[in-house]
Structure 1
Amino acid sequence: MTDRSSSAGRPLLPALAATVTVVLWASAFVAIRSAGDSYSPGALALGRLFAGSLALVLLCLVRREGLPPRSAWRGIAISGVLWFGFYMVALNWGEQQVDAGTAALVVNIGPLLIALLGARLLGDPMPPRLLAGMAVSFAGAVTVGLSMAGGGGSSVLGVVLCLLAAVAYAAGVVAQKPALARASALQVTTYGCLVGTAACLPFAGQLVRQVAHAPLSATLDMVYLGVFPTALAFTTWAYALARTTASRMGATTYAVPALVVLMSWLALGEVPGPLTLAGGALCLAGVAVSRTRARARNAAPLAVPAAGEPRSEQVS
């Protein structure tokens, strides 16, 4: 079972965890662009997941984490196959078929799908501030995407792959949420990553061949993707998700496009234009709106959850 009671007096920890996740996921786009020149989509996904699994299993051994309870395995397996496995392969492949702007546009329907699925399947509330913030952030993502889109750089296959990646991402998050009521964030992340690794084993031959010829920098990028944006960031994501709704966590990821623009500027020397900067500002403004809570709602007494019902603490 997750230990949420110990974080009740430390409300900043979930917010910090969400921040770590967003920053590391943004850095992944820069690393994927570099490693993708030397590794095929499936090989890159498998290498990333393998490195992440090694780091997570080692951490589980150090912390003496046991197996998740049987009741958590359904969510772990679904999120492992869809989010850790299928999503990473589809996104890597899609980004080779379309320009960065088109990929950003299509993949950023993911948080909207999370909100819809969360409301339908998990009973997540949809307060007006959350809806307004998501609308502003999505407008920012569209602006960033349009400003980065290049003429003739898209294909139907690439758009479909990015769309499938967004659907897999949303379904994986919604499947992961109930599992976090029964197992720890580290357990859910570790075994989800192991499931994703197993799902990507058909690409093992490609990975072995490409490792032998890839430059060291590309391989180090792949290891970085596994240890930090996967092992660490997915664990901090799960920690924060266990303490808020799937819809609110999905809205938080709209900060990623703005951070990607900043990191590409600093690391790759890609100077953003005024439209790109405006879109990034809209993304951050929308996240800020979605994370705020009405004063009247804060003053209302908290409902006591029924026995066995997972607590849903908002991240502020």
Structure 2
Amino acid sequence: MTAVLWGSAFPAIGVALRAYSPTAIAMLRIGIAILLLLPCLLRGRIRALRLQDTTRMAAFGLAGMTAYQLLLYAGEQSVDAGTAALLVSTSPVFVALLGIFLLGERPGARGVAGLAVALCGALLIAVTTGHSGGTLAGAGLVIMAAAAQAASFILQKPLLARYSGTECTFYGSLFGVVLLLPFLPSAVSQAATADWHRTAAVIWLGVGCTVLAFWSWSRTLSATTAATSSLVLYGVPVAALVINTALTRTAPAHTAVLGGILVLAGVAITATRNAQPQLPRPSDRVAPRSNLHDTLPRGEGDSAVTGRTNE
């Protein structure tokens, strides 16, 4: 579900960029997400944010909502949707690297080999983009977007021990929209003159690619380690390529696709290090985490028995 929803974002962005600026798309996308989640807040399904979590939640929102979107939209102005999806598929590489330094996760020799293969694939895609109508600068912006996305996953991981995916999406959107508020008048004026299908693409980005996708992604991320859960992202470029080809009858260059295959192969090599299921240690089974488990939606509080590493 996460892969298909996020995969659909790339062609939708390409459609929206014909009538909206990157800042306008980001402003409207996050604004739509906030409006959709307001009923959850009014009904008490979104709890108050703890003061000690404010800094991390703000960083998550700025990285995953603001920086990621602005960098991706700016890059996709000169990079086609399929190639952009292949470049963003390097996000698990950055997740693994950040997980090593910030979460103490250890990829092992196989994981390191997988990261190296994936990085070679990303370089091939970037070089191909510079010789096939796109620009190296645009490819660089998309890769930076992948890094920003990875940082947001690392920041969100500890928060999911205390907050549901809906709460993370709501508060992350609130912090993420702050820097975009000056662009609200421009976004409204662009919406007034845009064709209906361009506006429909922006609405889908807010509904399907933000609210629904972050909900499904948060449930995945809460159930395992940041590096392992990021492996679901290798399905995103596949979904993006299929959807984009069906809508536009265009596909990335063959060498870009080869680079994408290398990226996915590298991620797959890294994934095999977690092939053996891990049983919870006796101490994990005896000591309950907290009563918060009972307050989360079913599935979001069960990460203690899914083989994730203790933090």
TM-score tier by shorter-chain length is 0.7 to 0.9
The within-5 A match list for 1:43-192 is 43-62=24-43, 64-98=45-79, 103-104=84-85, 107-128=88-109, 130-131=111-112, 133-134=114-115, 150-151=131-132, 153-154=134-135, 156=137, 158-192=138-172
Letter in 2 for 1:121: L
Aligned residue for 1:235? 215
| Matched residue count | 294
Residues 3 and 233 of structure 2 are in contact (CA less than 8 Å); yes or no, is this contact kept in structure 1? yes
CA shift for structure 1 position 129: 5.2
Aligned counterparts of 1:235 and 1:69: Cα–Cα separation in 2: 20
CA shift for structure 1 position 190: 1.2
Secondary structure, counterpart of 2:168 in structure 1: helix
CA shift for structure 1 position 215: 0.3
Aligned residue for 2:306? 313
Aligned counterparts of 2:239 and 2:23: Cα–Cα separation in 1: 26
Distance change >3 Å, CA 294–CA 54, structure 1 → 2: closer
Aligned residue for 1:206? 186
Distance change >3 Å, CA 109–CA 284, structure 1 → 2: closer
Distance change >3 Å, CA 45–CA 33, structure 1 → 2: same
Q: What are structure 1's unaligned runs of at least 5 residues? A: 1-19
Aligned residue for 1:8? none
| One of 304, 310, 313 as aligned partner of 2:283 | 304
- CA RMSD after TM alignment: 3.2
Residues 244 and 312 of structure 1 are in contact (CA less than 8 Å); yes or no, is this contact kept in structure 2? no
Letter in 1 for 2:225: T
Secondary structure, counterpart of 1:262 in structure 2: helix
Residues 234 and 267 of structure 2 are in contact (CA less than 8 Å); yes or no, is this contact kept in structure 1? yes
Residues 81 and 240 of structure 2 are in contact (CA less than 8 Å); yes or no, is this contact kept in structure 1? no
- The Cα offsets for residues 250-280 of structure 1, whole Å up to 9 and x where unpaired, read as 2321222222211122222225676566555
- The Cα offsets for residues 3-56 of structure 1, whole Å up to 9 and x where unpaired, read as xxxxxxxxxxxxxxxxx1111111000100001100000001111111111122
Aligned counterparts of 1:215 and 1:282: Cα–Cα separation in 2: 38
Residues 93 and 115 of structure 2 are in contact (CA less than 8 Å); yes or no, is this contact kept in structure 1? yes
Residues 130 and 248 of structure 1 are in contact (CA less than 8 Å); yes or no, is this contact kept in structure 2? no
1:253 and 2:246 matched: no
My pick for the range that moved more, 128-137 or 252-261, is: 128-137
Aligned residue for 1:42? 23
CA shift for structure 1 position 240: 1.2
Secondary structure, counterpart of 2:277 in structure 1: helix
Aligned residue for 1:269? 249
Aligned residue for 1:224? 204
Residues 114 and 247 of structure 1 are in contact (CA less than 8 Å); yes or no, is this contact kept in structure 2? yes
Aligned counterparts of 2:175 and 2:257: Cα–Cα separation in 1: 38
Letter in 2 for 1:39: Y
Distance change >3 Å, CA 160–CA 146, structure 1 → 2: closer
Secondary structure, counterpart of 2:77 in structure 1: helix
User: Structure 1 length as normaliser, TM-score?
Assistant: 0.78
Percent identity over paired residues: 37
Aligned residue for 1:215? 195
- The Cα offsets for residues 66-114 of structure 1, whole Å up to 9 and x where unpaired, read as 2233333322111111210121112111221445576456544432221
Letter in 2 for 1:298: P
- The Cα offsets for residues 104-162 of structure 1, whole Å up to 9 and x where unpaired, read as 56544432221111111111231455445555555555666666664353154x35533
Aligned residue for 1:6? none
Aligned residue for 2:294? none
CA shift for structure 1 position 292: 4.6
Residues 107 and 270 of structure 2 are in contact (CA less than 8 Å); yes or no, is this contact kept in structure 1? no
User: Structure 2 length as normaliser, TM-score?
Assistant: 0.80
Secondary structure, counterpart of 2:3 in structure 1: helix
Letter in 1 for 2:2: T
